[in-house]
Structure 1
Amino acid sequence: MAEVFDVRLFTEVFVTLFVIMDPPGQVPIFLGLTGAMTARQRTRAAGTAILVAFGVIVGFAAFGQQVLAYMHVSLPALQAAGGLLLLLVAMQLLTGRFEVPEPAGGRGANVAMVPLGTPILAGPGAIVATMVFVQRAGAEGGAAPWVSVAVGVLAVCACLYAAMRFANVVHRVLGVSGTTLISRIAGLLLSAIAVQSLATAITAMVQAA
């Protein structure tokens, strides 16, 4: 009977994406981006963000190599672009731009899709890592590697959703002032991640030149 699940590959996928996407670390960022929302809107935003992140990751896993090759874009260039986007989001968190109430209509959906769904959750690191695992699954052949990669991605997305749902409890405990403080700290940390992403991408470009 052919093996239908590779536990070792699943573990690698789950641990790698868990570290990169960092579900516990997304809680303060999520609170900063959704501070003006109600609990129901925040829950809806969490679900939308997970769907967007999953769709982006699956899309790049399936067609990323072909798209990048067609556009003559390297993986370090993609990572650098993601770093710049994250830096912009970090500046908005630090200045409190996302905390200004706006008329109802699409603010929750917009924040959930961009920047939360991508590039914060489905960022360049997660996209590149998934593309590498997909290449590995294709090279190994058989159904087991593909199933293991898919289950690993779904498991991390489930952890992310659980962390953001838990953010409602954190918001009630901290209150408005505490949430504002957390969003400022999140902006500072996110800016450091963005700069590191840019530095890594530039180093890769220089080494490849």
Structure 2
Amino acid sequence: MTQTFIQTFILLFLVTDPFGNVPLFVSAMAQVPKQRRWKIVVRECAIAFFVLLLFMFFGRHLLAAMQLSQISLRIGGSVILFLIAMRMVFPQPGGMFGDNGKGGEPFIVPLAIPAIAGPSALATVLLFSSNTTTEIVIHVGALVAVALVWLAVFLPAERLQEKLGPQVMAAFERLMGLILSAMAVEMFLAGIREFIKSL
């Protein structure tokens, strides 16, 4: 049970990539008054949390409605995770999600979606659809724990970026990308094994 919680927590931490999103949060709120920034951070994290929670609970019904199997979602999700991991290891000029522009107060886009609750995170929580109460509690608990990490990282985002510096932040993001790529490959192989068993 503990191992499952830790694995779920690590996977959610990697796909939401809080440290990698620090520069995006800092730049998106550059024009926002300082006294409002913490409120925006809490709001965006709450929106991302509830979106992921919604996908976690209704993911199985969504799959059934779209006539998708768990196997195809696992393989497709692994490909998305791998592409995100590659962008973390080899950064693009526009960042992981492209150039989002500046100015005004951010609302939902780009901070809640897709920075935190992006395609890889949504695909990942869809895989957490469970039948047992124990697994549901573990997955929700891991999501709550990760949401607390978001707040711990994004609330002091400006100070964190200043103290660690861009080089350390970039190195940390590349390390997370490397770990995420290995997890994506493992998820892909698991999907292939399930597909072969279903033949």
Comparing 194-203 with 96-105, which one deviates more in the overlay? 96-105
The answer to whether the aligner puts 1:70 opposite 2:61 as a matched pair is no
The answer to whether the aligner puts 1:155 opposite 2:144 as a matched pair is yes
Match of 1:182 among 159, 164, 172: 172
Please report the TM-score for the alignment, with normalisation by the length of structure 2.
Answer: 0.67
CA apart distance, 1:53: 4.3
Matches of 2:163 and 2:110 in 1, distance apart? 26
Tell me the number of residue pairs that the alignment of Structure 1 and Structure 2 aligns.
187
Matches of 2:138 and 2:179 in 1, distance apart? 29
Matches of 2:6 and 2:177 in 1, distance apart? 25
Q: Which residue of 2 aligns with 1:172?
A: 162
Please report the TM-score for the alignment, with normalisation by the length of structure 1.
Answer: 0.64
CA apart distance, 1:199: 1.8
Comparing 12-21 with 79-88, which one deviates more in the overlay? 12-21
- Name the SS of the counterpart of 2:116 in structure 1: helix
Q: Which residue of 1 aligns with 2:17?
A: 26
Letter aligned with residue 21 of structure 1: L
Residues 97-123 of structure 1: per-residue CA shift (max 9 Å, x gap)? 344865326798235412531334444
The answer to whether the aligner puts 1:91 opposite 2:82 as a matched pair is no
Gapped regions of structure 1 (runs ≥ 5)? 1-8
The structure-2 alpha-carbon separation of the partners of 1:160 and 1:96, relative to structure 1 and needing over 3 Å to count, comes to: same
Q: Which residue of 1 aligns with 2:192?
A: 202
The structure-2 alpha-carbon separation of the partners of 1:78 and 1:158, relative to structure 1 and needing over 3 Å to count, comes to: same
Residues 48-88 of structure 1: per-residue CA shift (max 9 Å, x gap)? 25523432332441x32232223221112112222221222
Match of 1:80 among 65, 75, 79: 75
CA apart distance, 1:166: 6.0
Higher normalized helix content (fraction of residues) = 1
The answer to whether the aligner puts 1:56 opposite 2:57 as a matched pair is no
CA apart distance, 1:33: 5.5
Matches of 1:85 and 1:107 in 2, distance apart? 25
